[in-house]
Structure 1
């Protein structure tokens, strides 16, 4: 496999992960009968965003690099907030 095909494969993998997050969110919302954003949405966002950032760096596309790079901070921050909320809920339930 040539290096170009490897990077195209990585790009498509990143896009598939990034797109899967919408399926996860839609299915979770349908099951709950309300709009929700499950933790898996943020993990797929992080995985897809990181993979797409690697692809954008390879392509040397500054617009794509800034867009995916900025998104990674948002995804990590949301996971940090979810973790903190879970930890506080556990501490409250122990009291």
Structure 2
């Protein structure tokens, strides 16, 4: 009986969270999480191809996209943990793109000169 009761409780919870409460904001939050998760797929595939740890530029663009959408979701839902976490993380993702851009410019200059 305990297993059946627990199963019903979990099923009810999942229904409420993912079906009954489904709206635009939940869909937006899920899209943000999907974009955020895709960065790991991109990183994994790139690393497998190179047979070493690689973080491609697409990783940072997925990070920024997922982070921004998740930040908007957090702002709407008034979730301070999401707001603080994503706002800080987006800065780091953008900073990494600045480093990559600088490195590529330096490499082009060195190749020319």
What is the TM-score normalised by the length of structure 2? 0.79
TM superposition shift of 1:94? 0.9
State which structure, 1 or 2, has the greater radius of gyration over its C-alpha atoms: 2
- In the other structure, the counterpart of 2:29 is 11
- In the other structure, the counterpart of 1:77 is 95
SS in 2 for 1:35: coil
SS in 2 for 1:31: helix
Higher relative contact order (CA 8 A, sep 6+): 1
- In the other structure, the counterpart of 1:41 is 59
- Say how many residue pairs are matched: 92
Q: What residue ranges of structure 1 are gaps of 5+ in the alignment? A: none
CA distance in 2, matches of 1:16, 1:48: 7
What is the TM-score normalised by the length of structure 1? 0.94
2:109 pairs with one of 64, 73, 91? 91
List 4+ stretches of structure 1 deviating above 4 A: none
Q: What residue ranges of structure 2 are gaps of 5+ in the alignment? A: 1-21
CA shift digits 1:29-64 (9 cap, x unpaired): 000001111111011000000000000000000111
RMSD: 0.9
- In the other structure, the counterpart of 1:25 is 43
